Structures are given as structure tokens and as C-alpha cells.
A and B are shown apart, each in its own frame.
Chain A
Amino acid sequence: MRSGLAAALAALLVAAAGCSLSGEEAETSIRLVVPDKNVRAEGVECAGARPFEHVHPGAPFTIEAGDGTVVADGELPVGHAENAEPEIDWGVDRIPTFCVLDFEVALPERPRYRLLLEGSRPLEFAVGKEPVVLVVG
């Protein structure tokens, strides 16, 4: 009798946990923006310019949930240069740009996440409107 009750309670707890924290993972689009304002031709492949040189293709990253559990990891892809000041017509090919790294990562449903990249402060985010835009600071 007692063991039956315990099993029912356990099942209830598991079901309740499932309502708020699904074990299923969803692909999430992330745009990692490096505000380096380096002079490049728009669209060329790039990495973070100094002092953001740690943001480059192959650099390892980790994503933690709010409780510190590692929920994803990987390596950064190559970035592409995007116009840092689109309101200005510079009249030349090489202009101030940001390096933007677009990638997808599978994340389990959690309220908050933290992207960790060696050399940067942790970047906190929640998944809502995609892509999630994170600015390296």
C-alpha cells in the first residue's frame, strides 16, 4: 500500500517536472555579435578583432542553464562582417563592421541560459524571439 503511494507520488513529481522543464531539445538560432568595428569589406569571413581575438572559428563554447548545468557545448563557426553603421554611406568597400557569428544549438527547455566563452564575461539569455542576439562584451 505504502509502496504504491510512493510510486504514484514519484510519477506525479516526474509529470510535474515535465510540465516546466521538458527534456526535449529544440534547435535555437544564436547570433553572436562582436562589436569590434574593424574595417573590412562587408560580408567577408571574419573573427573578432583585438581586443576580441578570443572569438574565432573553432573557439570552444559552453552553454549552462541557470542552475549551472551544462546543457550544450561546441565550437564557434566562422563569422561574417556586417556594416556597423548602416546609416552612413562611406563610399568605399572597406567600412567599419561588426563580426557576426551565426550558429544553431540544441537546447533543452530552461528559463535562462548562460553562454560561456573563454576570455569573455558570461552572456545571459532566454529563448524567445529568434535568433537570440548576444553581444560579446
Chain B
Amino acid sequence: MRRARPRHDAQRLEGARLSEGGGVAAALTLGLVLLLVACGGGGDNAVAGGADDLPGAVPAGVRYAKPAAATLRAPPFSAELLDGTPITASKLWSDRPLVLVFTASWCRRCAELHRDVAAALDEHGDAIGLLGVVPEDDAQAARDYADELDLGYPIAVAPERVWLDYAAREPPVVVLISRGGKVLRGWPGGVAREELARRLDELVERS
């Protein structure tokens, strides 16, 4: 499910300070808090762009328009999300259409594109999947980038072959893949929110 990102536990603890008079009590309290955090009771440690940003089940009553028979198959690939979770693209497009966004932390035009793509998809909730793709040498910077932009969708670190297979020569590139894995459209240089929204509206049928 896409959602607002919680603050990290380390940030939550930033305000904890030992007072001069209540040092022992404060130390015990802090110890208890740290114990709770260590035991998983301290909240959400999710990495932006990781497994927690994968979509939930396809909403009930959603159907998808079938692509033309001659449409090319999307090149399959496997990769890891920013939190190390392995993913397989064919699984992501097996039950719903998928939008791939080839991006990079240093791509200034991509920041605006991310917001546009997310806005276009918001109307459809989990009926459409969304996966960001960053180059392998950008993984660390991409973690900061995803956190900073609060993208709210999974980001995969993909090897060079994936970029070549999708003819993604320079970010941003957006690719729309049908349910079942056919390439419906690619937009080198990005896509306007209205254009993507129109394409998605054509694709999703609700009963």
C-alpha cells in the first residue's frame, strides 16, 4: 500500500536527554525504549523504495483492457529493491499493469516526473503497479533520494542489461507494461501527467 512515510526511530529518539536530577530514571527509561526498539516494538524501520512500498492486492472489480496481439513482450528481469528485497518483474506485471520509471539520484528532471507519475497513478490505487529503476552505481545515493522525495513506491537497483533491454539510454524513461507483460508504450525523456493518466484510464475498467 502506498502511504506517508513514518519518521525513522533514530529521529524519534533525537529528543531524549538525561536531566541532571533524574539521571537514573532517565537512563532506565532510555534503556527501556532502546530495548523496545531492538525487539521491534519501536515502530517502522522501513527503507524508502523497499518492500513496504510494494502494492497490495488488486482491488476487487478491476479488469484490464487487452493489448493488441502484436505487442512486444516486455524483457523479463530480476533485481533487488533498495532494502535488498529480491523482486521479479514478471511477478509484478502478472496480475496488473506496471509502470517502470528509469531514474537516477542525479537526474534533476526526474524529481518532477516522479510526482507526476505518482499523481497519475493515485487515481487507480493498487490497480496499477509502479516500479522505479536506478543504475547499480547509484544504489546508495538512490536510498537518500527516495527518502528525501518520499516517493512511496518500490525502487529496484537494476544491472546495465535491464537498461539496455528497455533502450533506456538516459533517465528519465517511462515504460507502460500491460497485465501479462506486453510493452504498451515507452516515453524516453518522461511523460506528462495528463498523457499517462489518459493511457491508464484506457487500460483500467471498473465494474
Given the contacts A57-B108, A78-B108, A49 and B189 also touching, CB distance less than 8 Å? no
* Complex contact A49–B170 (CB within 8 A): yes
Chain A residues near B104: list those with CB within 8 A. Answer: 47, 56
Q: Does B59 reach chain A (CB closer than 8 Å)?
A: no
Contact partner, A56, options B106, B163, B169, Cβ 8 Å: B106
Q: Does A129 reach chain B (CB closer than 8 Å)?
A: no
Residue of A nearest to B169 (CB): A49
Q: Is the interface of B mostly helix, strand, loop or mixed?
A: loop
Taken together as a complex, chains A and B put the C-alpha atoms of A56 and B107 apart, in Å, by: 8
Taken together as a complex, chains A and B put the C-alpha atoms of A59 and B104 apart, in Å, by: 12
Q: Does A136 reach chain B (CB closer than 8 Å)?
A: no
Least Cβ distance of B95 to chain A in Å? 32
Contact partner, A53, options B108, B109, B135, Cβ 8 Å: B135
Q: Does B188 reach chain A (CB closer than 8 Å)?
A: yes
What is the size, in residues, of chain A's interface with B at 8 Å between Cβ atoms?
20
Chain B residues near A47: list those with CB within 8 A. Answer: 104, 106-107, 170-171
Q: Does B164 reach chain A (CB closer than 8 Å)?
A: yes
Interface string of A11-24 (1 = CB under 8 A from B): 00000000000000
Chain B residues near A53: list those with CB within 8 A. Answer: 135, 169-170
Q: Does A2 reach chain B (CB closer than 8 Å)?
A: no
Chain A residues near B108: list those with CB within 8 A. Answer: 45, 57, 78
Q: Is the interface of A mostly helix, strand, loop or mixed?
A: loop
* Complex contact B106–A38 (CB within 8 A): no
Contact partner, B188, options A39, A45, A58, A99, Cβ 8 Å: A39
Taken together as a complex, chains A and B put the C-alpha atoms of A1 and B108 apart, in Å, by: 66
Residue of B nearest to A99 (CB): B170
Chain B residues near A94: list those with CB within 8 A. Answer: 189
In the complex, chain A residues 44-91 whose Cβ is within 8 Å of any chain B Cβ: 44-50, 53, 56-59, 78
Interface residues, chain B, with chain A CB atoms under 8 Å away = 104, 106-109, 135, 163-164, 168-171, 188-189
Instruction: Please give me the 6 A-B residue pairs with the lowest Cβ-Cβ distance, nearest first.
Output: A49-B170, A49-B169, A50-B169, A58-B106, A57-B106, A56-B106
- A50-B170, A59-B106 given. 13 additional CB < 8 A pairs? A38-B169, A38-B170, A39-B189, A44-B189, A45-B109, A46-B170, A47-B106, A47-B107, A48-B170, A50-B163, A50-B164, A50-B168, A56-B104
